[in-house]
Amino acid sequence: MVLADDLTDRMGKLLMTKGTVLTEKNLKICKMWGVIEAQIEGVSSDDVNSSVLDDYDPAAIAGFSESVRERFCHNDMDHPVIRELVRLCVLRAAEGRNSDADDFRWEPRLDEETPKHSKKKPVNANPLKFIGEHTKLSTLPDIYKHLSAAIAKPNSSTYDIENVISKDTNLSARLLKVVNSAFYGYPSRIDTLSRAVSIIGTRQLSTLAMGVNIINIFNKIPSDIINMKMFWKHSILCGICARILAGYKNIQNTERMFTAGLLHDIGRLVCYNYLGRESLYAVTKAKNSRRLLYLAERDVFNLDHALIGGSLLNKWQMPLSLEDMVRYHHEPEKSKNQLEPSIIHLADILANAMGIGTSGERLIPSLHEEAWLRLGMTPNILSLTIEQADRQLEDVFKVIFADDKP
């Protein structure tokens, strides 16, 4: 393989010049510097893409393509990002990786008023009222308050953070498992919280602790409303994708991005938990009309899960950056800091495209062109992000739900 153009790293530093013959040593250098693509003489991306699918039955590929394109029906199929995601999804289907969204069932109960059984629309309800009226939602777990207070102290030490977290033995154990999982990939085992805090950082570990702990708030939603493991699997995957993408943009504290991805659909849990009938109507409405779920939510609630989730984080007095990422992940252009919501926006699309877990959405949310341009990435970044997320997901998911029964 011969380079058809100069090769630079993500910061623009020249690594190899045009005409370099790539050897195994060259490829190791590329990997070390985080270079994931290069122009090769006589080889186009279309050549690479088509050759990958040549090993599969053309009729099967055609069937998979039709099914995948249906899920992307709200996107521009000619957009380079969507073309690449469709290709990757077809390849995943050919490899036998079925989408959980395809298997997601939310059948209306006979006593529910749905478009199928009644033309009446359920009485409009305001989910924001439930956030203010229910103590469990109005207050954040005490451990996060103690963590925030410890971090805010001018003379705060790693011992102070360790002391707060160690009081919750279950959380401590899970955090250590996360730190030792593929999520971080440290070569040697980290056995103590103090070492974890010193290596990862106080704010980073505290942000991670907060995200993991919040999962326990919504642990009583009936399975006939939503499969919570499928919900959290989608959410964890979104968080992992967001953390990987943030790394490519050299954003500090990528744990914050993971937590934002983890919580991006938390507004739906407010609705599922307290307004199950209305939520059922929104899901059924979206399914019957082939609309995106967050748009159907606006018909039913006059607002969507992103606004509800952002309002909940505001009520909890969580960092504004987290609130914005959750509130604007479907409309990043409305945020003052558009970069980070744009990352969550793309991470959510990737998680939905991969089809692992689901928060109720069957289709792929529309990609905002402005968000993609703001990230300054190339479509080739998508396959690497998905590959890394695949490697990390099961490990992280098993750690977070280690004490749950299958």
Q: Which of 238, 326, 320, 231 is nearest to 279 (CA)?
A: 231
Exposed / middle / buried, residue 173 (Cβ in 10 Å: 0-12, 13-18, 19+): middle
139-157 mean pLDDT: 74
Of 42-51, 171-180, 280-289, 375-384, where does mean pLDDT reach its minimum? 42-51
pLDDT for res 107:
47
Q: At 46, is the pLDDT very low, low, confident or very high (cuts 50, 70, 90)? A: low
User: What percent of the chain shows pLDDT beyond 90?
Assistant: 37
- Sketch out the chain's domains with CATH numbers: 1-43 (no CATH), 45-139+221-406 (1.10.3210), 140-219 (no CATH)
* Average pLDDT over all residues of the chain: 81
User: Does residue 355 come out as left (phi exceeding 0), alpha (psi in the -120 to 50 range) or beta?
Assistant: left
Q: How far is CA 229 from the centre of its chain?
A: 14
Rounded to 5 degrees, what are φ and ψ at 15? Answer: -105, -45
Q: What is the pLDDT of residues 348-381, one digit of tens each?
A: 999 999 999 999 999 999 999 999 999 999 998 9
Of 69-78, 183-192, 257-266, where does mean pLDDT reach its minimum? 183-192
pLDDT for res 28:
67
Report how far residue 153's alpha carbon sits from residue 158's, in angstroms, rounded to the nearest whole number: 12
Of 195-199, 203-207, 322-326, 381-385, where does mean pLDDT reach its minimum? 203-207
29-42 mean pLDDT: 62
pLDDT for res 402:
61
272-278 mean pLDDT: 86
